Amino acid sequence: KWRRGYSEIDGSVRTQTGTPLQGAFVYAAVQNSIQGFGIVDGNGNYQISGLSPNLYTVTVDMPGYAEPNAQPTAVSYLESGTPVYGLANFSVTSQVTAVEQEMDPIPENFSLNQNYPNPFNPSTMIQYALVSPGVVSLKVYNLLGQEVATLASGYQNAGTYKVIFNAKGLAGGVYLYRLQTQGSEIARKMILLQ
């Protein structure tokens, strides 16, 4: 079964509620070069085989979920050629940030509404309006000015939009959300309760 000197990384990927994250893509890289990958099965398990001895960075990628921190995982083998497995288990957080455009007439003013509900835990809705098409950025910052989430980024047509911000995993407190387009910017505060 084993080629001499080759081994694998095994593990599981589950949501914070313990549900298997079937279909998630898990890959092992060395210095940003992907060496192998696996797909999470219905039981939440994956396997990346055919790896030579090295220190790998294992990463999970699944649309709609925040990427958990990559895990350093070593793969080696014994003198007899017996493989020594690597192990990397992950717990991922849903971060639904799909932006929905409302089918209303084009708004008269560039606007960013107060999130609702506010205070919130863990999710809240943010609505904004664009009077003309262009590149849009909607980001969330903590009070130190550090970016904690990107809710919208890229070209959008004129119209009214809604986006859900899931703050699971963030500390409670005051956060700023800022909407930027070419030449225009609005920021508001929101409160995350714990």
pLDDT reading at 3 higher than 50: no
pLDDT: which is higher, 92 or 102 = 92
| Short-list 13, 70, 8, CA closest to 39 | 13
pTM, two decimals, is 0.50
pLDDT reading at 178 higher than 80: yes
pLDDT per residue as tens digits for the range 98-126: 556 666 677 888 999 999 888 888 888 99
The residue with tokens 């849009």 is: 136
Question: Which pLDDT does position 187 carry in this prediction?
Answer: 94
| Short-list 98, 91, 90, 100, CA closest to 166 | 98
Q: Which of 152-188 are b and which e, b meaning 16 or more Cβ less than 10 Å from the residue's Cβ?
A: beeebeebbbebbbbbeebeeeebebebbbeeeeeee
Q: How many helices (H) and strands (E) does the chain have?
A: 0, 18
pLDDT per residue as tens digits for the range 5-21: 577 888 888 877 788 88
